[in-house]
Amino acid sequence: MNKTISLACGNGGEENNELISKVFYKAFKNEILEKSEDAAIIHNGELAFSTDSFTVSPLFFPGADIGKLAICGTCNDLAMMGAKPKYLSCSVIIEEGFETRELEKIVRSMKKELEVNGAIVVSGDTKVVPRGSVDKIFINTTGIGEVLKKGISSNNISEDDLILVNRDIGCHGATIFSTREGIEMTSNLESDCASLFPQVKALIDAGIHITALRDATRGGVSAVLNEWAKQSNICIEVEEDKIPVSDEVSGICEILGFEAAALANEGTFVLAINKDDANRAIEVLKTFEPCANATIIGKVTDEHKQKVILKSSWGTKRFLDTPSGELLPRIC
């Protein structure tokens, strides 16, 4: 560990993992925390519990704003454990001088997204700090959800599973970067920010055999796959040309040297689904408009344990590593 915290420690990649494991996990070590899931399963497996903080810049961007992001972020973490979001807390730290009109706009976005999830805010806290102490507004949301399907875990993935994504990747990261840097684009690129519980509920209702789910936020799909490979002690082989990437995101990646698989998402999730149910899961997902590109991108093997292998259309292979360095700070 370095003696000081860098922006890279919040990137969702290698530095972030090191910070969490060597500082927080070391201090708070317990059986629930060590499972490293998107949400903790508590109360005899009946409830899911998660918290998240949001510092995105800019506050408003194509497709969403910090308010929608704050509700989607926590509700999606609950949904990834097969839970229906029920109760949330909302804590805000507001900079002195922040416009009330903008705060009301943010809160309206939160209210609308709560309705999508069928959840309510039941507790909260508000702090106002002097100018310069924070950048306009930071939001924390904590959520409790009712587990509808038990046993979903990123620690149980095996060679019986295939790896899927629900839609094209990288839209959130590309949108934030282009908006932040003022890049003019003649396209409809916008964040994929969305509540995922309706999609998860449809999979559960269809009786799909779900092994694991994970929303690909900071660190993107690359971070998720590497976390899964380590947690389940498996190798994941991914077909590069099967990963859906829009032309707009591909263009930004080519210009700036980014890898789409490392870009953050806020409405994209990765699924480990039993081989027998994988195609049916795709059919269910494609009933949702954003999921037209839902597809199987890879499989589980034992070739290189705890590694992710990316296979190109040319027949070459390389390791897809956990992202490192400072890619896009304050992405969520």
Same domain, 143 and 165: no
Please identify, among 113, 147, 181, the residue that sits at the C-terminal boundary of a domain. 147
pLDDT at 265: 97
Question: Quick one: pLDDT band at residue 199, thresholds 50, 70, 90?
Answer: very high
pLDDT value at 138 more than 80: yes
**Is cis: bond before 58, omega within 30 of 0?**
yes
DSSP letter assigned to residue 322: P
Same domain, 101 and 171: no
Same domain, 103 and 33: yes
Which of helix, strand or coil describes residue 102?
helix
Question: How far is residue 213 from each of residues 26, 130, 240, measured CA to CA in Å?
Answer: 26, 41, 20
Q: Which tens digits make up the pLDDT trace of 255-268?
A: 888 899 999 999 99
Please identify, among 115, 147, 179, the residue that sits at the C-terminal boundary of a domain. 147
Instruction: Supply the CATH number for residue 275's domain.
Output: 3.90.650.10
Same domain, 29 and 139: yes
Same domain, 65 and 171: no
| CA pair distance 10, 28, nearest whole angstrom | 19
Of 164, 119, 145, the residue nearest 285 (C-alpha): 164
Burial class (CB in 10 A: 0-12, 13-18, 19+), 61: buried
Domain annotation covers residue 101: yes
Domain annotation covers residue 156: no
| pTM across the whole model | 0.95
pLDDT at 17: 83
Domain annotation covers residue 153: no
Expressed as residue numbers, the domain containing 177 is 161-319
Domain annotation covers residue 152: no
Percentage of the residues of the chain whose pLDDT score is greater than 70: 99
Of 53, 72, 226, the residue nearest 154 (C-alpha): 226
Same domain, 30 and 57: yes
Domain annotation covers residue 78: yes
Looking at the structure of the chain, the number of domains it has is 2
Domain annotation covers residue 298: yes
Domain annotation covers residue 262: yes
307-311/235-239 β-pairing:
parallel
Same domain, 54 and 131: yes
| CA pair distance 39, 86, nearest whole angstrom | 14
Same domain, 213 and 264: yes
Structure tokens at 209: 């055999």
Q: What is the DSSP string of 153-193?
A: -TT---TTEEEEESS---HHHHHHHHHHTT---SS------
Same domain, 177 and 306: yes
pLDDT at 102: 98
Question: Quick one: pLDDT band at residue 35, thresholds 50, 70, 90?
Answer: very high
Same domain, 219 and 273: yes
Same domain, 26 and 132: yes
Same domain, 198 and 234: yes
Domain annotation covers residue 260: yes
Range 25-47 average pLDDT:
94
